Structure 1
Amino acid sequence: MMSSLSTISLLLLSLLWAVISVDASFQPLPLPILMSGPHSFAFNSTENGFYTGVSGGTILKYTPEEGFVVFAHITESSSSLLCYGLQEPISSRRCGRPAGIALNEVTGDLYVADALLGLHVVSPAGGLAVKIADGVDGNPFESLNGLDVDPTTGIVYFTSLSSRFTAYQMHLVMFLDDETGKLYKYDPSTKVVTVLMEGLGGAAGVTVSSDGSFVLVSQFTKYNIIRYWIKGPKAGSSEDFSNSPSHLHPSSIRRIGSTGNFWISAVQRVTNQTAVAKVDSNGEVLQRIYMPLYYDFLTEVNEFHGSLYFGSLTERYVGLETF
């Protein structure tokens, strides 16, 4: 484990000057007019496309044949043009703001962690999302962010950045070193939400390993990633998966299909410079990519069929890098 920690510590430090660049083949997939902020991606292998949530509470579906089409809405208000005219967080309270998103490829259900309005599910037919929960044990969710579905069980794991502040008060989370983030579990078979971990510092991203043995959670304000064991002799326990000695905040972390590898994105606190890296389940660095400064507020990097997809809080396009 110590060699793994050292490797990823060097990774996070070296990301600031990594020499591999996405400039040469980086291309935008423009969103429909008025829409922005493709936060996260869920890939549909059957249709060779993906889903993404944008500001205004809309879920878009993309296929190479049709481009972007409206697939679902978080609230009934989300279909109103007003939701795209209002500024966040006003629009988010009324219309929704999808953050983490993932597909159960067995059932076709699409799960969405809305930043302010709770955990939702969208049927394979699309339409209006169904709210699963807006809190647990009498405590409301304040700032949901990351979400993933266990490919082996269909269980949903999701995170909250903080239990005191909303996603739009991230400056307070960082300034006060808030440690009230949580890791949650939702079991569709029992329809019960439980808290797995508390006391997390800006729990931003979450992903499940391809074999379903553990979950990785990125702590934005603590500069590290936590591994929570689901199966095996360590089940129910957690440990550090990585630590960063610099001012790099890990945001998202996503599983790469069944390869056993992950993409990590990180943000430099002072310059807002972003960078990403591919690592395996032992923390070995497989690839580093430098992100250009013109791509603002990176939220996620995800891989599908040999291409990288880049999400953002503010951009009006999905970034695409094809190998």
Structure 2
Amino acid sequence: MAVSPSTVVAMASILSIFVFCFPTIVHSASFRQIFLPPTDFGPESLAFEPLGGAFYTGANDGHILRYQPPTGWTNFAITSPNWSATFCGGTTDPDKGPICGRPMGLAYNPTKRLLYIADAYYGLLVADSNGRLAKQIATGAEGQPLIACNGLDMDPNTGNIYFTDASAVYDLRNSSKAALANDSTGRLLKYDVGTNQVTVLLRNLSVAVGAAVSKDGRFVLVSEFLGNRIRRYWLTGQNAGTSDIFLSSINIVRPNNIKRTALGDFWIAAATVIQGTQALVPIRVRVDAFGRISETVSLEAQYGSTLISEVQESGLALYVSSRNAGFIGVFTP
């Protein structure tokens, strides 16, 4: 979840959206920009298909796009049954979110060809390969509704989904209030694909945003955007059911989405404070499975002070998304 330095999480017919758009790509050395279609904005997260380079992202107006090289963008799915091109299409009005939806975290199951979606207003959903209206599979857990669903990941071994609810009080429209109130009501949750049950793993998190499961399935990470740390919840072993601090550094603040790499380490979208000022600049951080930092790279040259939402590898490229941008950044060797 990318926000300005002064805030935390900034927090007609359906068929009419299923048209093709073509990309504009701007190259600059090893960095290029894949622009969203002109009326779309704010790619929060990405989910890749295993072959062919196709990926998905959510837009600010509530629909999900699919990018397929070399043809470009296709409108793929929506999360709200109330979505219409007339009312929602291209909107940047946050007050339309409860009607139009706002896709946040994404995860793709290549075996079943399913796209899992965390929507800030419609909870946890899943879309099959046909897209269209995604199926809502969770709206609450243990008697408490989902208020601000944000990040998610799929366990590569079991297919179970781990996702976050940023706050139990403040929805996406009121994220600045969450910051002022120092909100710590976020949760980490698990959706069991076999039983369709949702359980709460962690509570009292300071704006829970990103989630990522380890390659071996032993633990799941959850980032606390306001708490400026990443917590580890153990799924197996002698520590199962307990949590500890995985990463906390004075030089790494506002951690957002976390993405596992093929080697089993993690990319974290975060920020750092410019020395002698209160200004934040975006950074990408790579850590191993033990929380040891191996790489920290400033993205100020590409994004200025615009914070990023996610960093993810696909093939030899590194993709960067931001909810405050109209493009996806791509770094190549």
Common fold by TM > 0.5: yes
1:277 and 2:291 aligned: no
Give the root-mean-square deviation of aligned CA atoms.
Answer: 1.8
CA contact (8 A) 1:73 1:79 kept: no
1:300 and 2:307 aligned: no
Q: Give the number of the structure with larger relative contact order, counting CA–CA contacts within 8 Å between residues 6 or more apart.
A: 1
Cα distance, 1:86–1:62 mapped onto 2, change above 3 Å: closer
Note the residue ranges of structure 2 that are not aligned, 5 or more in a row. 1-26
Residue identity matched to 1:261: D
CA contact (8 A) 2:118 2:152 kept: yes
1:49 and 2:59 aligned: no
Residue identity matched to 1:317: F
CA contact (8 A) 2:61 2:92 kept: no
Deviation track 1:71-90 (CA, whole Å, cap 9, x = no partner) reads: 11112443514213533322
1:26 and 2:26 aligned: no
Q: Distance in 1 between matches of 2:157 and 2:288?
A: 19
CA contact (8 A) 2:213 2:219 kept: yes
Q: Distance in 2 between matches of 1:37 and 1:193?
A: 28
1:119 and 2:127 aligned: no
**How far 1:101 moved relative to its partner?**
0.5
**How far 1:232 moved relative to its partner?**
1.3
Cα distance, 1:78–1:319 mapped onto 2, change above 3 Å: farther
Q: Distance in 2 between matches of 1:229 and 1:242?
A: 15
Partner of 1:110: 115
User: Which moved further from structure 2: 71-80 or 54-63?
Assistant: 71-80
Residue identity matched to 1:262: F
Q: Distance in 2 between matches of 1:280 and 1:210?
A: 11
1:260 and 2:264 aligned: yes
Cα distance, 1:319–1:155 mapped onto 2, change above 3 Å: same
User: Which moved further from structure 2: 212-221 or 167-176?
Assistant: 167-176
CA contact (8 A) 2:318 2:331 kept: yes
Give the secondary-structure state (helix, strand or coil) at the position aligned to 1:103.
Answer: strand
1:22-171 matches, within 5 Å, as 24-171=29-176
**How far 1:174 moved relative to its partner?**
2.0
1:1-12 matches, within 5 Å, as none
Partner of 1:320: 330
Partner of 1:233: 238
Q: Distance in 2 between matches of 1:122 and 1:107?
A: 11
Q: Distance in 1 between matches of 2:248 and 2:162?
A: 22
**How far 1:294 moved relative to its partner?**
3.0
Give the secondary-structure state (helix, strand or coil) at the position aligned to 2:47.
Answer: strand
Deviation track 1:180-201 (CA, whole Å, cap 9, x = no partner) reads: 0000100111011111110111
User: Which moved further from structure 2: 93-102 or 313-322?
Assistant: 313-322
1:286-297 matches, within 5 Å, as 286-292=294-300, 293-294=303-304, 296-297=306-307
User: Which moved further from structure 2: 81-90 or 170-179?
Assistant: 81-90
CA contact (8 A) 2:223 2:255 kept: yes
Residue identity matched to 2:216: D
Q: Distance in 2 between matches of 1:321 and 1:81?
A: 36
1:173 and 2:178 aligned: yes
Answer 1 or 2: which has greater helix percent. 1
Residue identity matched to 2:133: L
Partner of 2:3: none
Partner of 1:17: none
Q: Distance in 2 between matches of 1:246 and 1:46?
A: 36
**How far 1:168 moved relative to its partner?**
2.6
Partner of 1:11: none
**How far 1:48 moved relative to its partner?**
2.2
Deviation track 1:1-51 (CA, whole Å, cap 9, x = no partner) reads: xxxxxxxxxxxxxxxxxxxxx974221111112011111011101332111
Q: Distance in 2 between matches of 1:169 and 1:50?
A: 30
CA contact (8 A) 2:252 2:270 kept: no
CA contact (8 A) 2:40 2:90 kept: no
CA contact (8 A) 1:56 1:78 kept: no
Cα distance, 1:23–1:46 mapped onto 2, change above 3 Å: closer
Cα distance, 1:273–1:295 mapped onto 2, change above 3 Å: closer
Deviation track 1:145-186 (CA, whole Å, cap 9, x = no partner) reads: 110000100000000111011123222222222110000100
Partner of 1:213: 218
Q: How many pairs does the alignment contain?
A: 301
